A and B are shown apart, each in its own frame.
Chain A
């Protein structure tokens, strides 16, 4: 039943040291493309996005819910944009309830989605799929 724990403690210590270093680097690494920090209005929009649980149904970069569409590039998509976003917020649609946001709140949500849109592209139709199984993403600054 009993095992010699010393070698295992040694391996765990090494893994923890690597984990600490890795976390330090990840936390201090920005995205691949330089982006502006969220403005105070965008932060307010983000808060509204969270407190109204928009993520339950919608996705950003394919992460979130499945009942509504992905919103990563809704701001810049052809035929969509700020007025389109506000129209949905005003009226709701199918399973989306009607929200009673003030004009200021709607502006904040639009500003948040605008800044999300500036960070990248999803779905990334122009990404290159390589023979190694790797996917070379197309970035915003390469458009």
Chain B
């Protein structure tokens, strides 16, 4: 009997997504009514809950999908099902501990890793267990890896490194030098994102090759060229986050040069794939295919934005504004989440070949998700442009007055945030139910 660990990971991921969206909604409400429950659940308390939950969604869903593909689709014998089980239990318990850490204000960490720093130890151990299982399983079963196996392996290794790097501030060598410390903090954060992108983008290429039933998309030289370009960005392209920090200029020069290649990576691969996809194959996985098409759209939008603000002269005006938030929402929701939902639909089709994935309500949820995300995204862009105008052009009025002038955009952001929550819940509910059936004794 196959290990149920992948299904547990996917259920855990979907629960994290639901909670993450709920916390996000609660936190964003405070943009509209700043004094609402501010002493009980201030924004500063809700934000870590939101951020950690949605990052967990991405990482857990990617992990569960990879375990699933290896064991259920490729039918490899996992090196150790026990390690996979331990990995899941460790992440589950750490997740609970992190929520307790936030609830009871043990938040000595930093942005994105606000929990008490000792909790990074079990997280790291979990990644090491995943790495051992992954590399040992592939070493035994595959000769000449397609690009997605390289991407997943890279994601796992760099995840371990950058989770450690994000905690270098615990050492005085970094901590006492503010500029060095701050740049290493944002280096690690940028590359942490790059690491999960390796996992998620690897999944998208895997899905393309499976839906299309053509392995060439994952084995040709162009796919590897883009993988190496992505890896170079992961390693050296982080410093566009810190263009305005007085680091040594060469760090920023390197980032400027490398950032210009960012995002072209996946867009090109998907573009080449879509042109030749066969109808009969997409009919087998209609929702997985639709979600990948949505990914295509969101990549296109985010490429434009990312390329523009990787130019220092533009970054100068967009940095520190909601345009950066629009970019992170556009990439985590628009790109990562659509790829992961595509994976969930592919997986459900594999588990239940008769399962009708494109039910009426699911299709409606998919459409309203994309429309809501677009309005949500545009609201943030406009809010960011107005904030930038206030910072650099008008330079007039207090921060509070500027915030008040953004309320209409915050209302839109809040309403369409709810719409994203509802739409994704509609799409996710039948999947969650079906996965849940699978783990019932």
Instruction: List A residues at the B interface (Cβ < 8 Å).
Output: 1-5, 8, 11-12, 15, 18-19, 22, 26-27, 29-33, 35, 37-38, 43, 46-47, 50-57, 59-70, 92-98, 115-116, 119-120, 122-125, 127, 129-130, 133-135, 137, 139-140
A94 CB contact (under 8 Å) in B34, B108, B251, B392? B34
Give residues of chain B (150-184) contacting chain A, Cβ–Cβ below 8 Å.
150, 168, 174-180, 182-184
Q: Contact check: which of B30, B215, B245, B321 meets A120 at CB < 8 Å?
A: B245
Contact B146 A27 (CB under 8 A): no
Question: Which chain B residues lie closer than 8 Å to A123 at the CB level?
Answer: 244, 320, 391-392
Q: Which residue of A lies closest to B174 (CB)?
A: A27
Given contacts A31-B179, A37-B177, A38-B175, contact A63 B320 (CB under 8 A): yes
Q: Which B residues are in CB contact (< 8 Å) with A47? A: 108
Whether B316 and A129, one on each chain, are in contact in the complex, defined by CB atoms closer than 8 angstroms, is yes
Q: Which residue of A lies closest to B102 (CB)?
A: A53
Residues of chain A within 8 A of B146, CB atoms compared = 1, 3
B312 interfacial contact with A, CB 8 Å: yes
Instruction: Knowing that A32-B179, A56-B48, A56-B111 touch, tell me 11 more A-B residue pairs with CB under 8 angstroms.
Output: A1-B144, A3-B224, A22-B236, A26-B184, A30-B180, A31-B180, A32-B248, A37-B177, A38-B178, A98-B39, A135-B243
Complex contact B246–A115 (CB within 8 A): no
Check if B386 is an interface residue, CB within 8 A of chain A.
Answer: no
Within the complex, what minimum Cβ distance (angstroms) separates B94 from chain A?
20
Q: Which residues of B contact A53 (CB under 8 A)?
A: 44-45, 47-48, 107, 114
A93 to B43, CA, bound (A): 13
A50 & B251 in contact (Cβ 8 Å cutoff):
no
Chain B contacts with A in 166-225, Cβ cutoff 8 A: 168, 174-180, 182-184, 186-187, 215, 219, 224
The 3 lowest CB-CB distance pairs between A and B, nearest first, are A62-B320, A31-B179, A95-B34
A26 neighbours in B (Cβ, 8 Å):
183-184, 187, 251
**A62 to B: closest C-beta gap in Å:** 3
Whether B392 lies near A5 (C-beta < 8 A) is no
B227 to chain A, nearest CB (A): 8
Are B179 and A62 within 8 A (Cβ)? no
Give residues in B with beta carbon < 8 Å to A.
30-31, 34-35, 38-39, 42-45, 47-48, 105, 107-111, 114, 143-146, 150, 168, 174-180, 182-184, 186-187, 215, 219, 224, 228, 231-232, 235-236, 241-249, 251, 256, 311-316, 319-322, 325, 391-392, 399-400, 403
Shortest CB distance A92–B (Å): 8
Find the B residue at minimum CB distance from A16: B235
B179 A35 Cβ-Cβ under 8 A:
yes
Mostly, the B contact residues are helix
In the bound complex, do residue B182 and residue A61 qualify as a contact, i.e. CB atoms below 8 Å apart? yes
Q: Are A11 and B228 in contact (CB under 8 A)?
A: yes
**CB distance B143 to A2 under 8 Å?**
yes
Contact B105 A51 (CB under 8 A): yes
Give the complex CA separation of A59 and B150 in angstroms. Answer: 37
* Contact flag A94-B35 (CB < 8 Å), given A4-B144, A38-B175, A62-B244: yes
B43 in contact with A57 (CB, 8 Å): yes
What B residues does A11 contact at CB under 8 A? Answer: 228
Contacts of A120 in B (CB 8 A): 179, 245-246
Closest to B168 in A: A27
Contact partners of B30 in chain A: CB under 8 A: 67, 95
Closest to B316 in A: A135
Contact assessment for A32 and B247 in the assembled complex, using a CB-CB cutoff below 8 Å:
yes
Q: Is the CB of A1 within 8 A of B316?
A: no
Select the residue from B44, B105, B311 with max chain A CB neighbours within 10 A.
B44
A127 to B312, CA, bound (A): 11
Name the residue on A nearest B253 (C-beta).
A134
- Complex-state Cα separation, A18 to B314, whole angstroms: 29
Chain A residues near B219 (CB, 8 Å)? 1-3
Cα-based distance from A22 to B258 in the complex (angstroms): 14
Q: Does the CB pair B313–A97 fall under 8 Å? A: no
CB-based contact A43/B176 at 8 Å? yes
Q: In the complex where A133-B313, A135-B243 touch, is A119 in contact with B143 (Cβ < 8 A)?
A: no
| Chain B residues within 8 Å of A122, by CB | 244, 320
The answer to whether A134 and B144 have CB atoms under 8 Å apart is no
Instruction: For the complex, give the distance between the alpha carbons of A127 and B220 in Å.
Output: 45
Residue in contact with B231 in the complex, picked from A15, A96, A116, CB distance below 8 Å: A15
Whether B107 lies near A50 (C-beta < 8 A) is yes
Report the bound CA distance from A116 to B232 in whole Å. Answer: 31
Residue of A8, A57, A137 near B150 (CB, 8 A) is A8
Q: Shortest beta-carbon distance, B100 to chain A, in Å?
A: 15
User: Are A29 and B248 within 8 A (Cβ)?
Assistant: yes
Known: A2-B143, A35-B179, A95-B30. A51 touches B107 (CB 8 A): yes
* Cβ-closest chain A residue relative to B173: A27
Task: Indicate if the CB atoms of A63 and B35 lie closer than 8 Å.
Answer: no
A residues near B228, Cβ cutoff 8 Å = 11, 15
Contact in complex: B38, A95 (CB < 8 Å): yes
For residue B108, which residue of chain A has the nearest CB?
A: A51
Bound CA span A89–B201, Å: 44
